[in-house]
Chain A
Amino acid sequence: MNEYVLEVNDVVKRYLDFTLDKVSFKVPKGSIVGLIGENGAGKSTTINIALDLVRKEQGTVTVLGQEIPNEAHHWKEDVGVVFDGINFHEALTPLEIGKILSSGYKQWDDKVYQNYLAKFQLAQNKRIKDFSKGMKTKLCIAAALSHDPKLLILDEATSGLDPVMRDDMLDVFLDFVQDENHSILMSSHITTDLEKVADYIVLIHQGKIILSQSKDELIYNYGIIRCGAALFEALDKSEILAYRKCDFQWEVLVADKAKFKKQYRDAVIDNASIDDILLLYVKGEQAK
């Protein structure tokens, strides 16, 4: 049995002003993988290629053991997707959406859908145009979860939600991955959400994968050294991942903060949040 639900290997896609350059990462079974990066980094393009919405020029994508694109489209039964923004017509109601999707998915479970509608407090006969952005997102999530997907792909799905709604959704996602056959690939700007739920973090910057690590390793091992110019010059550059000069100090990202603490006892070494790591990779310079 394959231990990965999604494998992206050396995927290349060239546009006039942007190239997705040999992107590779994997989504293990039973895990949540967070895909982070600045706007235009290539997150959505990567997801669109994984879903065969955009053609790749090189590389392979394997979803649930099947290489994509595939003439057979049955793999789509097992993939639930929520894009940024709603894809349902505003004149329709959740009840009609349920009827439409139940004819489209063999695995559709109307009872599960009704339960989600009740849980998310979405009126069945209210037109979508009368829903708030948060309610629309909830409807999309309900629809995506109601055909028993094994892989849930969320492309900036929670970005329009307030913190309370986001927290509710994160609980739903955590419930979903309680089944070890379920996995989530989640692209988000809100890295604090990923800190709460993700098992792995994939950072993409200017079309390239910069890091692909377990979240715990990032949180517990990565650190930021804040130091003056003298200490910065003295640092072993081969151990540095990225750095940037701020107003009065240098910020240096290192992969093993414990080691640096031992080596440079006077240096201030803070824990690195995912936001810090993203900022240093994107706004700073990467060590050679």
Chain B
Amino acid sequence: MKSLILKDLYNIGHHSRSMLLMLLIFGVIFLPTNGLISYVIMCCVMCSMMIVTTFAFDENAKWTKYAVIMPVSKNQIVLSKFIVLLIFTVIGTLVGSIVGGIGGALIQVFDYARLEDWINLITTSGIGLVIAFFFGSIVIPLLYKYGAEKARVLSLVAFVLPVVACVGLYKVLLTLGFVFSDRLVFTGMMLSPVLVLIWSIFMYKISCKIFGQQEF
């Protein structure tokens, strides 16, 4: 399985400069206008979406047929994609935090001498990581089912649906008089990595089922 992860890292590594440049440009554009939180989360999501690019590369090279004849199981091939997603998401979190931190300090929206700003940045990075991994794990089964090109379009729907559902639920609860206390929000944030982990295991199982039925 290490070989499959290494393959994706080498492939994306050859395109890393353009990605980094794009994140820097977005930093210049979005940090002053949208703020640090939006920028960090955007970096996490953009990097996690490189998983779609790895599928596109694989399709182009007809790699999956070769991967299946390697001494790895089909489930390991699927698992490698989830691990690569996690690696990309962590890279996005780190780049977003570093560029966001430095850029934020330059435009004075982040004060590196204030502990509160650091806590905010670390919390935002954690939230960004969880959100990006959540979305990425929705996209992987779509990629296995429909291929990279169709999944790109469908992933937009996959992003919008959970967001609309969450916002809808939030509004309904507000209407019903539910109070979102700081304690509740904090508990939700603490639980979110566990919930996303359970969610991604579910997505992994679905992906394995789809991939297991495929012929090459």
Contacts and interface: CB of A to CB of B under 8 A. Distances in A.
Interface in B1-56: 2-4, 6-7, 10-11, 14-15
A53 B70 contact: no
Most buried by A among B4, B70, B216: B70
11 contacts: A51-B69, A54-B216, A74-B71, A83-B65, A87-B62, A87-B65, A89-B11, A91-B11, A92-B10, A96-B10, A105-B70
Given A54-B216, A92-B11, A104-B70, A87 B61 contact: yes
B54 to A, nearest CB: 10
A76 B70 contact: yes
Interface string B45-84: 0000000000001101111011011111100000000000
Contacts of B57: 89, 91
Interface string A214-256: 0000000000000000000000000000000000000000000
Interface of B: 2-4, 6-7, 10-11, 14-15, 57-58, 60-63, 65-66, 68-73, 215-216
Given A53-B216, A104-B3, A81 B14 contact: no
Given A85-B62, A89-B57, A103 B6 contact: yes
Nearest to B5: A103
Contact of B216 (A48, A74, A89, A99): A48
Given A81-B69, A105-B71, A100 B10 contact: yes
Nearest to B66: A87
A199 B72 CA distance: 32
B7 A79 contact: no
Given A99-B6, A100-B7, A54 B65 contact: no
Nearest to A91: B14
A77 interface: yes
Interface string A45-59: 000100111110000
B3 A89 contact: no
A76 B66 CA distance: 11
Given A76-B69, A101-B3, A103-B3, 11 more contacts: A52-B68, A53-B68, A53-B69, A76-B71, A83-B62, A89-B11, A89-B57, A90-B60, A104-B2, A104-B4, A106-B71
Interface string A260-282: 00000000000000000000000
A259 to B, nearest CB: 45
A18 interface: no
A86 B63 CA distance: 9
Nearest to A108: B3
Contact of B61 (A74, A86, A100, A102): A86
A53 B64 CA distance: 10
A87 B63 contact: yes
Interface of A: 48, 51-55, 71, 73-74, 76-77, 79, 81, 83, 85-92, 96, 99-106
Contacts of A52: 68
Contacts of A99: 6, 10
B188 to A, nearest CB: 39
A92 B69 CA distance: 19
Contact of B63 (A55, A77, A88): A88
Q: By CB atoms of chain B within 10 A, which of A52, A89, A103 has the most? A: A89
B73 A73 contact: yes
A150 to B, nearest CB: 13
A54 B69 contact: no
A117 B1 CA distance: 25
Nearest to B57: A89
Contacts of A73: 71-73
B69 A79 contact: yes
Contacts of A86: 61
B69 A89 contact: no
Given A54-B215, A83-B65, A89 B7 contact: yes
A74 B69 CA distance: 10
A96 B7 CA distance: 8
